[in-house]
Structure 1
Amino acid sequence: MGSVYARPETKRLIIDFRYQGVRCKETTSLPDTKTNRKKVEKLLQTIEAEITLGSFEYHKYFPNSNRAKLFASQALHESSGNFPTFRNFAEQWFGEMETQWRKSHSDTVRNTIDKYLIPNFGEKEVGHITKAEILSFRASLAKVTARNGKQLSPSRINHIMTPLRMILNEAANRFNFSSPYQGIKSLKVPRTDVEPFTLEEVRLILDNVRVDFKNYYTVRFFTGMRTAEIDGLQWDAVDFQQRQVLVRSTLVNGRIESTKTDGSFRAIDMSQLVYDALMSQREATDHNQFVFTTRAGTPLSHNNVTKRVWYPLLRYLGLRKRRAYQTRHTAATLWLASGESPEWIARQMGHATTEMLFRVYSRYVPNLTRQDGSAFERLLKQNFDVKTLEVSHDE
């Protein structure tokens, strides 16, 4: 069911409806008045009736619309049996999708299209790409060497294949052919490499890290914040009165963006260590926008910090080399080990449910808490006469 509403900026009426599975929004030249609304609503009813009868012709109502050109092009392809090239359709698809993505994600998809997809499928017609060609392309990705000298991981290959799947499925929907991607499953990805630090290792790191980064790593270890979240943390998101850190933005490629998901938008409760660290940090950078900055007052570059501070510190302490992201895993395991509610931990981490906690982290808890059945044994001793449960060997 379509709708009519006014564009906030211009107060001009917009017709919003669906045609051939595509959401179409067309701006009229009419200002938002009661009379004009009735007129446009009546027009919408006529359009939807024609769509139902199969007699709707887009260009007759919106001759100057880009959508009109698109649907006319589709009709031509369907009648002639020809299809647009992958390059042309991929560009059109990207232009339509880009507005709903974060800038960092848009850049990633753009890079994937330019570096991998167009060189392999660019001049092929979308309706003539075969399943065998897709599988052959994926197999070739497994032989590609990344900048670190290693071959592309299954996870990276899946991320490259995702835009290809979306483009081909959308083309199949628009030009009425069976998508060659049907039946192709993603590569199996090994479980996330979780290597949390022990409490003793955390203490060792915080006792020996550079003074100007002690607060930074204290907050990382005891809030579970992601790298982009802590690097993008601003002072207006630190609530000392409520003792909470509000995660509502991230720093990606030097740009401030919204959090990755709705669940990531959250409030993290400050422990005393975190509270003290942020109070200390306020004395150093409260005149800046960001909580943690370079000496010049600019946001931190995580690559630079990792190479110049994090990895040298681990080498100096004789600790196994691990990504700084393991500080997030450390926070999760320490919370679990201390007996905090899984629901509370999930909220602190930005997880929608507790499923990931039990799947990824719970195996570390017995080693940290010694809760290997002895807690249940104590419960029995407190509530039952253990002697009556023992088997007598005197009979």
Structure 2
Amino acid sequence: MEMIRNKNRTITYREKVYVNGRSVSKTFKRKSDAITWKKKLQTEKQQMDIWGQSLNSTVLLGEFIKTWLQNKENSNVAPRTMDSYNGVINNYLLPLFASIHLRVISLAHGHKLLTHLHATSLKPVRINFILKIFKQILNDAVRWDYLLKNPLGHLKPIKVPPRHETYWLPSEIQKFLNASQDNELYNLYLVALNSGLRRGELLGLCWDKIDFKNKQIEISRIRDRYSLKETTKTGKIRYVPMNQVVFDTLFKLSLSKLNLQFVFTTNDGQAINLNHLSDRKFQNAITKANVKRIRFHDLRTSYAANFCMQGGDVYALSRILGHTNVEMTTSKYAHLHPSYLRQVADTISFKADSPNLAHSNLKLVEM
């Protein structure tokens, strides 16, 4: 215990306890209060180590979650992120744990959540996301002194099977484009397949970022379902070169601008609805073309995969796609189609001489 002599000639007592490697201290006017507080905290710490429970909170988990959500809203969390939080909390956490005291949440509740989620046939990625939100809530409960430690801290996420990237081969791309020539979003699809831009980058592309003189596009904005944002996914500006197809397409659109701000619009000049683009319009175009069903984001994957198959440099591809490092590009997009790999495999070919040839050579030596 530390005794502090203050400038006003009073004496206070500061006590300190270490919990999970961090120092928790408090100052009291009376020495007896400091001793009582330390004993209580040590008892609670011991109980936490044994049972994984905290004793100093009578708050219901549902009440704490409301406080947690309010704190997130006040922290200017993106609307889309708040939608994700609310969806997870209202659909999965509150129905199971709203009336349970925060102090009694234990590892068993984490296993109960996982069992419930498995029964709903959710994908492993979604299950891990829900578990991540639950852990994040309890981590903040520790940070705000509702709990001494997170009872789910050692609960590991479930294994996620590796996802095989989906993309179109050149023949499929050609078939899709041929069938989509009368589609109002044909130019959008064409530029996506020839540039590798993300959906938000394409829909947020404005005329002031098109540099026809240097044949490049400045990517410094994205558009989500709420608004146009003066930022990118990585927070960095990048410049994407235009091939001749992209240049000709954008130049033609610039001659008859349907919208003075956005490059890609509907036929009446309105901004494209992000949800309709992926869920309805793009999938309808795939159905009409009778090609393999993919996501809109897989147009970007198709660009990257075909770039590699045509012998493109992975480092250059990383710069075009806007990845933070080359390893990300290699792991995600440098996958090549099996038919291409079979062609490359014939580069090296070792084998023994045929028996007939070996026998004839032997006779020749004997003569």
State whether TM-score is above 0.5: yes
In the alignment, what sits opposite 1:113?
Answer: 89
1:244 and 2:216 matched: yes
SS at match of 2:162: coil
Alignment of structure 1 residues 316-331 onto 2, 5 Å = 316-331=288-303
CA distance in 2, matches of 1:270, 1:198: 21
The answer to whether the 8 Å contact 1:103/1:257 transfers is no
SS at match of 1:267: strand
Alignment of structure 1 residues 281-320 onto 2, 5 Å = 281-285=253-257, 287-306=259-278, 309-320=281-292
1:139 and 2:115 matched: yes
When normalised by structure 2's length, the TM-score is: 0.73
> Closer, same or farther in 2 for the Cα pair 1:141/1:263, shift >3 Å?
same
The answer to whether the 8 Å contact 1:102/1:257 transfers is no
In the alignment, what sits opposite 1:103?
Answer: 79
Q: What is the CA distance between 1:221 and its match in structure 2?
A: 0.6
In the alignment, what sits opposite 1:256?
Answer: 228
SS at match of 1:372: helix
**CA RMSD after TM alignment:** 3.4
The answer to whether the 8 Å contact 2:220/2:232 transfers is no
Q: What is the CA distance between 1:374 and its match in structure 2?
A: 5.2
In the alignment, what sits opposite 1:126?
Answer: 102
1:275 and 2:247 matched: yes
Matched to 1:96, the amino acid is N
1:185 and 2:161 matched: no
CA distance in 2, matches of 1:258, 1:371: 45
CA distance in 1, matches of 2:230, 2:67: 25
CA distance in 2, matches of 1:237, 1:113: 40
1:197 and 2:168 matched: yes
1:92-128 deviation line (CA, Å, top 9, x unaligned): 3333334253221122113222332222222322221
CA distance in 1, matches of 2:233, 2:289: 36
- Structure 1 residue runs without a partner (length 5+): 1-48, 58-73, 145-150, 378-390
1:314-369 deviation line (CA, Å, top 9, x unaligned): 33333122222221110111111222221221122222222233333333156347
CA distance in 2, matches of 1:142, 1:349: 36
SS at match of 1:245: strand
CA distance in 1, matches of 2:322, 2:161: 22
The answer to whether the 8 Å contact 2:197/2:300 transfers is yes
1:276-300 deviation line (CA, Å, top 9, x unaligned): 1111222343643211112332221
The answer to whether the 8 Å contact 2:175/2:291 transfers is no
The answer to whether the 8 Å contact 1:249/1:257 transfers is yes
CA distance in 1, matches of 2:251, 2:223: 22
The answer to whether the 8 Å contact 2:216/2:239 transfers is yes
The answer to whether the 8 Å contact 1:263/1:350 transfers is no
The answer to whether the 8 Å contact 2:56/2:103 transfers is no
> Closer, same or farther in 2 for the Cα pair 1:56/1:243, shift >3 Å?
farther
> Closer, same or farther in 2 for the Cα pair 1:369/1:240, shift >3 Å?
farther
When normalised by structure 1's length, the TM-score is: 0.68
Aligned residues with identical type, % of pairs:
24
The answer to whether the 8 Å contact 2:258/2:268 transfers is no
Q: What is the CA distance between 1:303 and its match in structure 2?
A: 3.5
CA distance in 2, matches of 1:105, 1:242: 37
Match of 2:61 among 86, 91, 110: 86
SS at match of 2:186: helix
The answer to whether the 8 Å contact 2:217/2:239 transfers is yes
CA distance in 1, matches of 2:111, 2:24: 41
In the alignment, what sits opposite 2:196?
Answer: 224
In the alignment, what sits opposite 2:4?
Answer: none
- Structure 2 residue runs without a partner (length 5+): 1-13, 17-22, 29-40, 46-53, 350-357
Residue-pair matches, total = 310
Matched to 1:191, the amino acid is P
> Closer, same or farther in 2 for the Cα pair 1:91/1:133, shift >3 Å?
same
